[in-house]
Structure 1
Amino acid sequence: MVGQPLCAGCYDYLGHVLFAWHLPELWRRFTITLRRAIATHLKTSGLSADSVRVSFVKVVELQARAIPHIHALIRLDPPGALATTASGDHISDGPAAPRGGREPRHGTDRQPVWSSPITATELTALIRQAAGRVRIDVPTGDNHPNQGVRTLRFGAQIDAQALTPETTTAATDSETARTTATASSRLSPRRVAAYLAKYVTKSLHDFGITARRLSTEAIGELDVSEHVRAILTVIAELAEHGNAAVAGIGRWLHTLGYRGHITTKSRHYSTTMGALRTARATWTRQHATNDATQLNATTPRGAVSPDQRPHAPLDPDAVAWEFDHAGHTSAGDRVLVISAALRHITARITAITETRSRIGSRWPAPPGGGDG
C-alpha cells in the first residue's frame, strides 16, 4: 500500500520524526555549507569569493509516507545590490545568470548580460557536495526508551539537475532536433515553476488531519492510518520524555512534526510582498484617475457628474453609529470574565486528568518501538 511501511515493526519511527522536526535546521546548514563551498571554489579559481550571490526558492512536499521532501531552485546571481523602494522593498530582480542558474529573468531595467564564473555543471556538483556534508547529531533524551544520539542527514536520493532555457523547434527541423529540444525543455524554468507550484497545493487533509492543533488525547480516536498514528504517538512521547532538542514538538502534532514553512526563498531571489502591494496600490490609483478623467470627458457640457450631484438630506429618524469604547466598562466586568476563563481551564484540566487515569496508559506503543 502506498505510504505504508513494508514492515511496520522494522520502521524507524523515531528517526522519521526527528528528521521532520530538524529539517528546517538541516536546510539552513545546507545553505551555509553551499555558500562556503562556492566561495572556496571561486578562491581556488583565483576569483573573489563575492563574485556571485546564491539565491534560492524551496518548496516542502509531505510525501505519501508522511515525511517532508524538499524541492528547490538554486541560482547564481551577480553580487550587485538591487534597487529598492523608499520602504526598503526590492523592486528589481536583476539580470539572469546565463551559466550557473540558466533562468532568464526580465527586470524593469535592461542591464548588460552577466556571465557567472561557475557553470551549471559545477554548481550541480557543489550542491551534491554540500548536501552530502550536512549532518546534525541529536540526543533523544535520557528519559526516552530509545535514548542515545541520532545523526540526521540528507538521504542518498539527492537529485540536482541544471535548468536549460526554454526552446522552440521550427517546423523544418529534423526529428532528432525535435527530440533534443523536447528533452531540454523538460527542465525549462516555466516547467519547473509549474512543478513546484503543484506541491504548494498539497494538504495534510490527505492523511486525515486538519490544519488545527491536535491534543495528544485525540490520537487514538483520529480517522488516520496506523502509520500516521504511530508517527503521532512518537511525537507525543518525545513531547513528554524529550530534551531541549525537541522542545515544543507536541504543539506540531497537526503537521506530523514538521515546524517549518511550506515555501521559503532567499531575500534576493525575486520580488517581495511589499513590492507587490506597492504595485497593486499604484495600479489602483492610476486606474481610478483614468476612470475619473474619462467620466469628465464624456459628461456633456452643463451636466453634473454623479460625484458632483448634491447628496440627499439625512433622514432625521436614521440611526447614526459612533465608536463608544473598547474593553470592559468596569473592573467588575473584567473580574467576571477572568474568573469564567479560569473556571473553564480548571474544568478542562480536571477532565483530562480523569481521562488519563481511566485509560491507564496515555498512548499505545508504536510498532517496532522506534528501533530501525
Structure 2
Amino acid sequence: MTIETPTQSGVGALLERAASPGFDGWRRNVLRLGGCTNPVHLVGSATLVDQATGEALRSFTSDEYGGRLLVACGNRRASVCPVCAALYRADTYQLIRAGLVGGKETPAGVGGHPRVFATLTAPGFGPVHTRRERDGRVRACRPRKAGEWCPHGLPVGCRARHAEDDRRLGEPLCPRCYDYAGAVLWQAQAGELWHRFALELRRVLARRGGLSRTEFAEAVRLSYAKVAEYQRRGLIHFHVVIRLDGPEGPETAPPGWVTTGLLADAVREAAGLVRLVARGADVVGRRVLRFGRQIDIRPIAAFDAGERLTSSAVAGYIAKYATKGAESAGAVDGRIHQATDLPLLPVRDHTLRMIGTCWRLGGLEPFESLRLRRWAHMLGYRGHFSTKSRRYSTTLTALRSARAEHRAQEQRDAFGFGDRPTLLVGQWRYAGRGYSPEAALVAESVRTGGVSHDA
C-alpha cells in the first residue's frame, strides 16, 4: 500500500486546480499574499464607484478568486508568520528612524534634538547561569569559592564557560532559591513601572532645569519609542529611544540648556528612583519593584560618528525585537486555557516554573487585576511589545494607509481609472483561515523564492 504524503496530495490537487476554470484568478489570489503563512478568507463582493458621479466603474466578487478572497494575516510575530512580521519590522524601522532624522511628515530638525538610546533591565531574582565575555574570551559563569552551598545544598557558583547555545543559560543555579513570585509580579507590573519612570524623568529634568513641572511642560516635550525584549531568564527589558523637543513637539527645538548629556544623566537618575510596591503583599510578602542596576544609555548620532550610535542602527535594532515574543525565551505562542495543559507544554523547567507561578497566583483574589492566567504564556507580561508617545513620529496606521492607497492607485491605473476620484464599497464576511494543500504549495514557492508574488 502506498501512503500519500501531504506534498504529494498538494501536487495532485494543484494539477487538478490548474485544469479548472478560473485558475489564473485563484493563482493571483495566492501569489499577492507574498507567502503569508496563515491568510484570512473572505467571501462577498465590492464595487469601485466614481465619487464625483456615483457611477459604478467595476464590480468584483470572491468568485473571481476561486471562491474566496485571501487577505494576509498581518501578525507581527515572526514565529507565527515570518512574511507579515517582515513587513511589520520594516514599518517599525521607518517609524523609529523618522523620529530620529525626520521624514514621514516628521520635520528633519529632530535630528538636532537631544536623543539617547537607553536599555532598562529587570532586577535579579536569584543567580542564573550566564555567559560572560571579556577581552574576547569567555569567562567562568559565576566563579565562587569551592564548598559554598545554598540553603538547599546546591553550589552557589558555576565555573563553566557556557557556549552560546548552552541550554542552561538563563536557568537559576537553585530553583528553590529563585524568587519566582517576585519575577512574575515584576513582569506583570513592568508597564506600570515604565509609566512611573516616564513621570519621574520629567520631574528630574524639571528639577535640573530649575523649573516647576508645569513650567517644564510648557517649555519641553518628551517623546519616546520603546520595545520590550525577552531575556533568556524569561524577563523583559526595555529598549527605548528618548527625545526632547520644544513645547510644540518635533517642529520646535528645546531650550538651549536641554542637552544630550543632561538627558542621559536624567534617565539614569530617574531609573534609579522609580519604585512600585507589588500587589498581593498579604499573600506573598511585601516586594518593592524597581529596574535593574544595569542601565545602558548612549547618545544617538544622525550619521556615523565613531562610538556614537547612528539613527539607522538604533531603528534597525528596535525593529528587530518588535517582531519577537516570549517564544524567544522558550515560552509558547498561544494562551494556556487549563491547568492540565501545563505538564504537556514543550518548555524548559525554568519557563514552566514561571508559567506555573502565573497560574497559581492568577487564581488568587489579590492578583485578579493582573490577569496572570490569561498572560501565563507570556510569563506574566501583559504590555505591548512596541509603543511610542503620540508626537514621536508617524504611526503604523499611517504607514499602512499609505501603502494601501499606493496599491489602490496601481489598481485604478491598471483599469484605466487613475485620474478619477474613486471609492471602493463592499460587503465581506469571514470564512476561515489557512491554505488548502494546493495553495500551500504555491505559497511555499513564494516564500522560498521559486515564484515572484508579482507574477
The secondary structure found in structure 1 opposite 2:334 is coil
For 1:163, the equivalent position in structure 2 comes to: 300
Residue 237 (structure 1) aligned with residue 405 (structure 2): no
1:12-31 matched pairs, under 5 angstroms: 12-31=179-198
Once residues 285 and 246 of structure 1 are traced to their aligned partners in structure 2, the CA distance between those partners, rounded to angstroms, is 44
Residue 76 (structure 1) aligned with residue 200 (structure 2): no
Structure scoring higher RCO (CA < 8 A, sep ≥ 6) equals 2
Query: What one-letter code is carried by the residue in structure 1 that aligns with 2:251?
Result: G
The secondary structure found in structure 2 opposite 1:194 is helix
Residues 117/216 of structure 1: CA separation in 2 closer, same or farther (3 Å cut): farther
TM-score, normalised via structure 2 length: 0.50
For 1:35, the equivalent position in structure 2 comes to: 202
For 2:230, the equivalent position in structure 1 comes to: 62
For 2:306, the equivalent position in structure 1 comes to: 182
For 2:175, the equivalent position in structure 1 comes to: 8
What do the CA deviations read for 1:316-366 (whole angstroms, capped 9, x no partner)? xxxxxxx9x9xxxxxxxxxxxxxxxxxxxxxxxxxxxxxxxxxxxxxxxxx
> How big is the shift at 1:23?
0.1
More helix by share: 1
Once residues 60 and 295 of structure 1 are traced to their aligned partners in structure 2, the CA distance between those partners, rounded to angstroms, is 42
Once residues 207 and 129 of structure 1 are traced to their aligned partners in structure 2, the CA distance between those partners, rounded to angstroms, is 29
Identity of aligned residues (%): 38
Contact 1:77 1:116 in 2 (8 A): no
Equivalent pairs, count = 253
Query: What one-letter code is carried by the residue in structure 2 that aligns with 1:14?
Result: A
For 1:260, the equivalent position in structure 2 comes to: 383
For 2:117, the equivalent position in structure 1 comes to: none
For 2:318, the equivalent position in structure 1 comes to: 196
> How big is the shift at 1:31?
0.7
Once residues 294 and 71 of structure 1 are traced to their aligned partners in structure 2, the CA distance between those partners, rounded to angstroms, is 46
Query: What one-letter code is carried by the residue in structure 2 that aligns with 1:11?
Result: Y
Of the two, which has the highest radius of gyration?
1
For 1:269, the equivalent position in structure 2 comes to: 392
1:37-186 matched pairs, under 5 angstroms: 37-44=204-211, 48-49=215-216, 50-80=218-248, 94=251, 116-140=256-280, 142=282, 144=283, 147-167=284-304, 181-184=305-308
> How big is the shift at 1:8?
1.8
Once residues 256 and 397 of structure 2 are traced to their aligned partners in structure 1, the CA distance between those partners, rounded to angstroms, is 29
Query: What one-letter code is carried by the residue in structure 1 that aligns with 2:353?
Result: A
Contact 1:59 1:72 in 2 (8 A): yes
> How big is the shift at 1:126?
0.8
Once residues 224 and 37 of structure 1 are traced to their aligned partners in structure 2, the CA distance between those partners, rounded to angstroms, is 42
Once residues 359 and 410 of structure 2 are traced to their aligned partners in structure 1, the CA distance between those partners, rounded to angstroms, is 55
Contact 2:229 2:325 in 1 (8 A): no
Once residues 12 and 58 of structure 1 are traced to their aligned partners in structure 2, the CA distance between those partners, rounded to angstroms, is 27
The secondary structure found in structure 1 opposite 2:288 is strand
Contact 2:231 2:329 in 1 (8 A): no
Query: What one-letter code is carried by the residue in structure 2 that aligns with 1:61?
Result: E
Query: What one-letter code is carried by the residue in structure 1 that aligns with 2:357?
Result: V
> How big is the shift at 1:192?
1.0
Structure 1 residue ranges without an equivalent (≥5): 82-92, 98-113, 168-180, 297-322, 326-372
Structure 2 residue ranges without an equivalent (≥5): 1-167, 420-426, 430-455
Residues 285/245 of structure 1: CA separation in 2 closer, same or farther (3 Å cut): closer
Query: What one-letter code is carried by the residue in structure 2 that aligns with 1:36?
Result: R
The root-mean-square deviation of aligned C-alpha atoms, in Å, is 3.2
> How big is the shift at 1:44?
4.4
Residues 247/287 of structure 1: CA separation in 2 closer, same or farther (3 Å cut): closer
Once residues 264 and 115 of structure 1 are traced to their aligned partners in structure 2, the CA distance between those partners, rounded to angstroms, is 26
